[in-house]
Amino acid sequence: MKILVSNDDGIFSTGLRALANALAQAGHEVIVVCPDRERSATGHGLTMHKPIRVEEVTAGFEASVRAWACSGLPADCVKLALDAILDGPPDWVISGINHGANLGTDVLYSGTVSAAMEGVLEGISSLAVSLASFSYQDFQPAAKVACSLVEQLSQRPIELPVLLNVNVPPVAAADIQGIRVARLGVRRYFDLFEKRVDPRGRTYYWLAGEVLEESDAKPTSFSTGTVKSLLPQALCEQFPTDTQAIRDNWITLTPLQYDLTVYAGLSYLKEALIPR
């Protein structure tokens, strides 16, 4: 199969190379188009007001892998690959392996998830893969999971416009409990802006957010009208949050969609706010 690999950590990241090389060793045709530097937490941003440049890279990859470093953001990389670099659509878009978790509300900011979502927007099966640690360096379990999911889901495709957000616990393969399908949890950050002064006396700020709370809270319910809940109680009980599952050393699989409409809220808003 032809697989496009991208990320937000940049072309020189260890996780990217572990993923691309593992897929190539499994016999897939692998094309890499990644940012030329780290572009974490850039979300689904696009470069609109300056040119995008690419440069071919060979060092660090299996001989069969074709790789390009791109001056743009993660979503730029996938769009450029699909529209200008590849000679035809790939079977898969896989983003990762990210250094650090993409759990819960992280997905709203994640360049890793956004690169994979760009594949979904083009109707291509997509994965976003993350290792839930910034310091743990063994990416092989996560690479193995990605290869396995490609094989399984190619035989039984998900007939929905979704990507699978995959998070792998930062433990030895023998200590991983298995795989769990999970819903998004909530991660709240303590956002500290450190005030500094540059050599020319100008003030600037450096964001250094740290996770303050990981919550398994249920989605907020509407208290009036015909809508009772954003998520049925049975689903809350059946599927753990990704934040909880990763703490228990499970690999988490969470389907994500680009349609952010809260369908449970449509009737509520029509009834409560629209004049008759």
Instruction: Give the model confidence (pLDDT) of 166-204 as tens digits.
Output: 999 999 999 999 999 999 988 876 667 888 999 999 999
Locate tokens 């291509």: which residue?
A: 124
- My answer on whether 142 and 229 are in the same domain is no
Pairing of strands 193-197, 162-168: unpaired
pLDDT of residue 268 exceeding 50, the answer is: yes
pLDDT of residue 51 exceeding 90, the answer is: yes
- My answer on whether 197 and 81 are in the same domain is no
Is residue 57 in some structural domain? yes
| Per-residue tokens: 271 | 């009834």
The lowest-confidence range among 65-69, 76-80, 130-134, 207-211 is 207-211
Locate tokens 């999971």: which residue?
A: 145
DSSP string, 227-242: ---SS-HHHHHHS-BH
pLDDT, averaged across the chain: 90
**Cβ atoms of residues 243 and 214 within 8 Å:** yes
Higher pLDDT: 226 or 101? It is: 101
Is residue 271 in some structural domain? no
pLDDT at site 231: 66
Is residue 270 in some structural domain? no
- The number of distinct structural domains making up the chain is 2
pLDDT of residue 112 exceeding 70, the answer is: yes
First-to-last C-alpha distance (Å) of the chain: 55
- My answer on whether 57 and 119 are in the same domain is yes
Is residue 274 in some structural domain? no
pLDDT of residue 227 exceeding 50, the answer is: no
Locate tokens 């369908």: which residue?
A: 263
Is residue 52 in some structural domain? yes
With cut-offs at 50, 70 and 90, classify the pLDDT of residue 221: low
- My answer on whether 127 and 208 are in the same domain is no
- My answer on whether 17 and 88 are in the same domain is yes
Q: Which domain holds residue 64?
A: 2-183+239-265
- My answer on whether 49 and 21 are in the same domain is yes
Higher pLDDT: 3 or 41? It is: 3
Is residue 275 in some structural domain? no
- My answer on whether 140 and 198 are in the same domain is no
- My answer on whether 177 and 207 are in the same domain is no
**Cβ atoms of residues 77 and 33 within 8 Å:** yes
- My answer on whether 223 and 141 are in the same domain is no
- My answer on whether 76 and 196 are in the same domain is no
- My answer on whether 32 and 134 are in the same domain is yes
- My answer on whether 166 and 57 are in the same domain is yes
C-alpha–C-alpha distance, residues 40 and 57, integer Å:
21
C-alpha–C-alpha distance, residues 154 and 202, integer Å:
54
Closest CA to 231 of 223, 219, 222: 219
C-alpha–C-alpha distance, residues 242 and 166, integer Å:
9
With cut-offs at 50, 70 and 90, classify the pLDDT of residue 216: low
Domain containing residue 145: CATH number: 3.40.1210.10
Is residue 76 in some structural domain? yes
Is residue 203 in some structural domain? yes
C-alpha–C-alpha distance, residues 177 and 183, integer Å:
18
